[in-house]
Amino acid sequence: MKENKSKYAILGILSLGPISGYDIKKVFQRSVANFWSESYGQIYPLLRTLVAEGLATKSIEKQVGKPDRHTYVLTNKGFEELQQWLIEPVQDQIGRIEIALKLFFGHRVKVADNIRQVEHFREMRGQELQALIAIEERLKVEHANKPNLPYMLMTVSYGQHVTQALIQWCEETLSFLSKMTAKPKKGIKGLTKKNVRGDKRRSRQSQ
Amino acid sequence: MKENKSKYAILGILSLGPISGYDIKKVFQRSVANFWSESYGQIYPLLRTLVAEGLATKSIEKQVGKPDRHTYVLTNKGFEELQQWLIEPVQDQIGRIEIALKLFFGHRVKVADNIRQVEHFREMRGQELQALIAIEERLKVEHANKPNLPYMLMTVSYGQHVTQALIQWCEETLSFLSKMTAKPKKGIKGLTKKNVRGDKRRSRQSQ
DNA sequence: GCCATCATGTAATCTGTTACATGATTAT
DNA sequence: ATAATCATGTAACAGATTACATGATGGC
């Protein structure tokens, strides 16, 4: 039904104050980078259409030595459209999860390969969690008593909860996988390239 | 660096046995739908290139009354390419999380609107968790002692962990939000359209 | 001299979904 | 009758990234 999330993402940034396309990219990188991003190829054409639709106005600042700054300001209509989107319930879409896909076909490689994969994933999550904790601390200091601080913290908390859960999942999956290496049973024992390919013959109905 | 996950997804399905493009879609829907999907517009052209690259071979089965079935079989080269991808560490990409984006701009609407948003999200997660538990039970019965059952269960567990964490986050966020309704402080109290828009003047440096 | 930053934008490319075209069979 | 399933595929569109073009300033 409703399309173009990028449009609303930009409307949201514009609601924070007058800003240029160049700076919009920076704001994305510095604030919502954990769960959202936009490229210039999206931003600049979209700003044009926002103006065409009467959701924003544009004014040009002359600068010495530097290129002109094209500054955009949200209109009332634009602000209302943003609000309308904000209260609309999110439609959940199935994201593509690469590690899950790889693990789904995990029996095509050695158990040790899967262990390595999950270990690497866990390390990345560990780093991510540390980063999210650092962001939380930074926000509390830099945005102290700003009205949107609570909302910023909620989004950081979202990331922390998910990342923490993934680390937990890694631990459980790793202990499960190491049990598989310890006592491999029929179909896993003596895993060779030839044996693995041999699965193909009896697999059409394994879906 | 490495591109086209769809290609490996299809190679993975092919590793389960000879199959047609039509059935590949079904297998996606019936097995990995929670974290992956492919459309015909991806599958059919990709099968053609897989054959061109020598990663699969094609043979046509004539059927009475029904259209021909084009059946694809993985080659050794294709199997090796799949294995190579499976052991490669996943590169993590920042997915777009709509509810986080909406909440990030939550101070642009009423606290009650954000509460409604999170409540709806929690209900969806609740349903999702129930579905994942049902899938787990179904897999344990239908795929009992199949060699890839453990790997299937790991992917289901992934979803369960994340979904459970999101429900937890919803609870915490909701209690936080209701505290905000109880005692709204400066900048939140007396929220009117005019006051909200007024934020714009001091917001360029709030990034 | 060279690279990064400022600042705009476009074009090419990639990835993915949706809708359509075809046409027979089977179930309601 | 009509809808769904079987089965292939393409074309049109949508969404997004990357690389490029332009050109000045300022730091190493």
Q: How confident is the model at residue B206 (pLDDT cuts 50, 70, 90)?
A: very low
Q: Residue A69: which H helix or E strand, with range?
A: strand A69-74
Mean pLDDT of B137-149: 94
DSSP secondary structure letter of residue A200: G
Mean pLDDT of A151-166: 98
In the structure, how far is the CA atom of residue A31 from the C1' atom of nucleotide D25, in angstroms?
A: 28
Across the interface, do A36 and B101 touch by the CB < 8 Å criterion?
A: yes
Residue A157, min C-alpha distance to chain B (Å)? 7
Question: Is the C-beta of residue B44 closer than 7 Å to nucleic acid chain D?
Answer: yes
Q: How confident is the model at residue B92 (pLDDT cuts 50, 70, 90)?
A: confident
**pLDDT higher at B181 or A150:** A150
Across the interface, do A200 and B17 touch by the CB < 8 Å criterion?
A: yes
Mean pLDDT of chain B: 89
Specify the pLDDT at position A61: 79
Q: Which residues pair with B74 in a beta bridge?
A: B56
From A139-153, A164-178, A192-206, B49-63, the region with the lowest mean pLDDT = A192-206
Specify the pLDDT at position A195: 44
Mean pLDDT of A111-127: 98
Q: How confident is the model at residue B184 (pLDDT cuts 50, 70, 90)?
A: low
What pTM was estimated for this model as a whole?
0.88
Residue B59, chain A, CB below 8 Å: the answer is no
Pairing assessment for the beta strands B19-20 and A69-74 based on DSSP bridges: unpaired
Question: Quick one: which residue's CA is nearest to D5's C1'?
Answer: B66
Q: Residue A206: is its pLDDT beyond 80?
A: no
In the structure, how far is the CA atom of residue B76 from the C1' atom of nucleotide C24, in angstroms?
A: 36
* B152 close to B31: Cβ distance less than 8 angstroms: yes
Specify the pLDDT at position A122: 98
**What would the pLDDT profile of A35-51 be if each residue is shown by its tens digit?**
999 999 999 999 999 99
State how far the Cα of A100 lies from the Cα of B72, in Å rounded to an integer. Answer: 24
Q: How confident is the model at residue A67 (pLDDT cuts 50, 70, 90)?
A: confident
Mean pLDDT of A2-27: 95
Helix (H, G, I), strand (E, B) or coil at A3: coil
Q: What are the Cα distances from residue B81, in Å, to A100, B14, B15?
A: 18, 12, 11
State how far the Cα of B87 lies from the Cα of A117, in Å rounded to an integer. Answer: 7
Mean pLDDT of chain A: 89
**What would the pLDDT profile of B1-55 be if each residue is shown by its tens digit?**
457 899 999 999 999 999 999 999 999 999 999 999 999 999 999 999 999 999 9
State how far the Cα of B79 lies from the Cα of A109, in Å rounded to an integer. Answer: 10
From A175-189, B26-40, B121-135, the region with the lowest mean pLDDT = A175-189
Specify the pLDDT at position A185: 57
Q: How many CB atoms lie within 10 A of CB B1?
A: 4
Q: Residue B195: is its pLDDT beyond 50?
A: no
Specify the pLDDT at position B93: 85
Percent of chain B with pLDDT over 90: 78
| Residue appearing with tokens 């929220």 | B191
Specify the pLDDT at position B181: 87
Token pair for A60: 């040009």
In the structure, how far is the CA atom of residue B38 from the C1' atom of nucleotide D11, in angstroms?
A: 18
Which residues in window 35-54 of A are less than 7 A from strand D by Cβ? 37-42
Specify the pLDDT at position B158: 98
* A123 close to A117: Cβ distance less than 8 angstroms: no
Token pair for B43: 């599958």
Q: Is A54 left (phi over 0), alpha (psi -120 to 50) or beta?
A: left
Task: Indicate the Cα dihedral angle B167, A150, A88, A19, nearest 10°.
Answer: -140
Q: Which nucleotides of D are covered by protein (CB under 7 A)?
A: 6-12, 14-20, 23-26
For B15, residues 6+ apart whose C-beta sits below 8 A from its C-beta are A105, A108, A200, B74, B79, B82
CA of B44: nucleotide with nearest C1': D9
